[in-house]
């Protein structure tokens, strides 16, 4: 069905103006100051966006949906996670495929993709995690890029013995990524240092969730960024530091950027809005707030917001990793190292950034769109199909009510997690209408669309 959005204030990464948008055959076909609905097909649905913003569909560049952890698995599936994304205004997800060290990359790709293809209500693509780099893996990774359009890798400089690569493999992978034109995203810490710190703390009887942050302090994250940048400098590869949590890590990235390293930086909603005191809550409630890198001392947020405002930080994701508090997080009752990592936020991200970023004048509306949509599309080979409001782009649009006030909670979330990390926050702003390729998939925080409508987005490598 054709769709006309009238009287909205269009906000993109660079522009701010009033216009009407007409969508047909899944694409934006007209953007004009005024479009007369009487000249359009009779079955055109007309949305009055008076008093509201119209954004390009938001892109979350960092989510975990199907995520194995210590014999358990993240509690969301692609239906619940994509419904949560849509309720919050996100129309494209980039999920991390995280195989085990003995798994074949191609098998893992098909496992993740088959799950998403059946259930996703948003368009999606993947970062392919590389946790082994033998000849078979090299061949299959190349095939995944060339045949399936997965134009980004993921590496872990953490999780010793499970996900981390050694330096020889890291160097060879980045060299291959450079040749393929693939950008490599990276979890920047230091697996050996964390392992040593965790062993020391546990031996001292320091087992609660409040010790998670001291086991992987800011210096370890900054060292990880330095390490990644050095290898990118040696190989010429393009790299992207995910979920950067602290001033020291941002400063390490800036130092690398200033010497010409092709490194981009991501922040995530939890680090921008929560601090270490949440993980220090008594009675094991702090486990709800365990993620890696950890929540930091609050002063780091000033640096993160400032770096977003200046463009040093390019994107805002979530690192959505949904594990229940009862039955999953409580596996770590006797040792914080066994707490599944993750603070789910795929539904709350945009409203958090609007409330605590835009409305406090830390960033502009244009910066919010750039960081939450357009820059991810550009970096990961989706632009201008995604992340833009222009003729020919996919009709992924968000009509946003900037004045709606609400409090997140388990009862209003489509995620299947049994807690909400932001249930003491009052948020201002909510997506009123959310479309995926011209079809309305959510209204006023409620999913109204089609499960399984999402498509795998094949991407061309663009980081040679």
- 343-387 pLDDT, tens digit per residue, is 999 999 999 999 999 999 999 999 999 999 999 999 999 999 999
Q: How many CB atoms lie within 10 A of CB 198?
A: 20
449 vs 452: CA distance, rounded Å? 10
**Overall domain count for the chain:** 1
Query: Which helix (H) or strand (E) covers residue 171, if one does?
Result: helix 167-180
Question: Do residues 387 and 59 lie in contact, with contact meaning Cβ atoms separated by under 8 Å?
Answer: yes
Q: Which CATH number goes with the domain that contains 136?
A: 3.20.20.140
What pLDDT shows up at residue 44? 97
Q: What is the mean pLDDT of residues 164-170?
A: 92
15 vs 164: CA distance, rounded Å? 42
What pLDDT shows up at residue 53? 99
Cα dihedral 30, 35, 36, 38, rounded to 10, equals 30
Return the residue matching tokens 């000249």. Answer: 39
Q: Which domain holds residue 215?
A: 1-464
Lowest mean pLDDT among 99-103, 219-223, 401-405: 99-103
pTM over 0.95: yes
Question: Do residues 398 and 340 lie in contact, with contact meaning Cβ atoms separated by under 8 Å?
Answer: no
**Structure tokens given for 13:** 């990464």
């Amino acid at each position: 069905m054709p769709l006309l959005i009238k009287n909205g204030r269009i906000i993109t990464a660079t522009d701010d103006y009033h216009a009407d948008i007409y969508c047909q055959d899944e694409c934006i076909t007209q953007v004009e100051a005024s479009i007369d609905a009487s000249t359009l097909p009779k079955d055109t649905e007309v949305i009055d966006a008076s008093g509201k913003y119209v954004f390009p569909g938001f892109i979350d560049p960092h989510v975990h949906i199907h995520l194995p952890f210590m014999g358990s698995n993240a509690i969301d599936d692609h239906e619940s996670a994509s419904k949560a994304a849509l309720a919050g205004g996100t129309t494209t997800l980039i999920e991390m495929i995280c195989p085990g060290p003995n798994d074949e990359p191609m098998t893992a790709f098909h496992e993740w993709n088959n799950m998403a293809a059946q259930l996703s209500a948003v368009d999606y693509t993947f970062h392919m995690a590389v946790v082994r780099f033998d000849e078979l893996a090299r061949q299959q990774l190349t095939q995944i890029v060339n045949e399936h359009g997965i134009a980004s890798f993921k590496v872990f400089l953490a999780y010793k013995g499970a996900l981390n690569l050694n330096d020889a493999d890291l160097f060879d992978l980045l060299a291959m990524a450079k040749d393929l034109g693939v950008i490599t995203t990276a979890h920047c810490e230091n697996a050996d240092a964390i392992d040593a710190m965790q062993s020391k703390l546990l031996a001292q009887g320091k087992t609660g969730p409040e010790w998670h942050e001291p086991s992987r302090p800011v210096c370890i994250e900054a060292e990880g960024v330095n390490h990644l940048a050095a290898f990118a400098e040696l190989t010429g590869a393009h790299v992207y530091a995910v979920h950067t949590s602290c001033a020291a890590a941002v400063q390490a990235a800036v130092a690398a950027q200033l010497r010409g390293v092709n490194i981009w930086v991501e922040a995530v909603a939890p680090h921008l809005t929560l601090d270490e005191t949440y993980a220090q809550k008594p009675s094991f409630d702090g486990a709800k707030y365990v993620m890696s890198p950890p929540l930091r001392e609050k002063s780091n947020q000033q640096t993160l917001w400032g770096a977003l405002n200046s463009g040093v930080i390019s994107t805002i994701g979530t690192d959505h990793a949904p594990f229940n508090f009862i039955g999953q997080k409580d596996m770590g009752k006797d040792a914080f190292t066994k707490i599944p990592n993750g603070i789910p936020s795929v539904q709350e991200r945009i409203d958090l950034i609007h409330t605590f970023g835009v409305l406090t004048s830390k960033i502009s509306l244009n910066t919010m769109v750039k960081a939450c949509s357009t820059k991810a599309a550009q970096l990961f080979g989706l632009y201008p199909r995604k992340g833009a409001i222009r003729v020919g782009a996919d009709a992924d649009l968000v009509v946003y009510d900037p004045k709606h006030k609400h409090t997140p909670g388990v009862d209003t979330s489509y995620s299947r997690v049994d807690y909400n990390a932001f249930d003491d926050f009052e948020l201002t702003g909510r997506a009123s209408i959310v479309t995926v390729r011209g079809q309305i998939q959510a209204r006023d925080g409620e999913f109204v669309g089609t499960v399984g409508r999402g498509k795998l987005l094949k991407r061309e490598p663009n980081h040679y």
